[in-house]
Amino acid sequence: MSKLTFSLENEYDFELIGISCHSRDYRICWSLNNMLKTNFKRTEDYEILKRNENIAFPFFEYIDEANNIEYYVIANKSSEGYLISEKQSTDYFLLLKGSITNQFVDTLAKKIKEIDVVIIAHRIDVNELKSKQNLLF
């Protein structure tokens, strides 16, 4: 009798913008709210299991129901380590889900670059990240 194996592949159905700045998480969210006319609110910290311990990262969300877009700001650094270790120069990730286009993401990254506390904002190809599974929630 032959054996059947079943393999699941994770689906990364979101876009990612990396943000580098020297500001605290609440300050960058306040700046994003002013620039993008959003309303980010802090929710429970985002936790991942790394080396048999839970590591928590500040987590903010804004749901735009009218345009069917979910926005999430996640800190990349915590006192215990990095969410995405290969992007150590990135302080925050803006994760976008929903009805978004490449042009929308590029325009959004350009707007974020204009914020005075932001050093750099750039689009990140999720499929090139080694630890991309840390962004699945």
Domain ranges of the chain: 15-135
- Confidence at residue 133, expressed as pLDDT on a 0 to 100 scale: 86
pLDDT for position 135:
86
Q: For residue 15, which of 72, 64, 85, 65 has the smallest C-alpha distance?
A: 72
Per-residue pLDDT of the chain (137 residues; tens, 9 = 90+): 666 665 455 666 899 999 999 999 999 999 999 999 999 999 999 999 887 888 999 999 999 999 999 999 999 999 888 999 999 999 999 999 998 999 999 999 999 999 999 999 999 998 898 888 888 87
Q: Which amino acid is at 53?
A: E
Rounded-to-integer distance, Cα 24 and Cα 17, Å: 17
Distant-in-sequence contacts of 117-121, Cβ < 8 A, 24+ apart:
117/21, 117/22, 117/23, 117/27, 117/28, 117/31, 118/19, 118/20, 118/21, 118/28, 118/31, 119/20, 119/21, 119/22, 120/18, 120/19, 120/20, 121/17, 121/18, 121/19, 121/20, 121/94
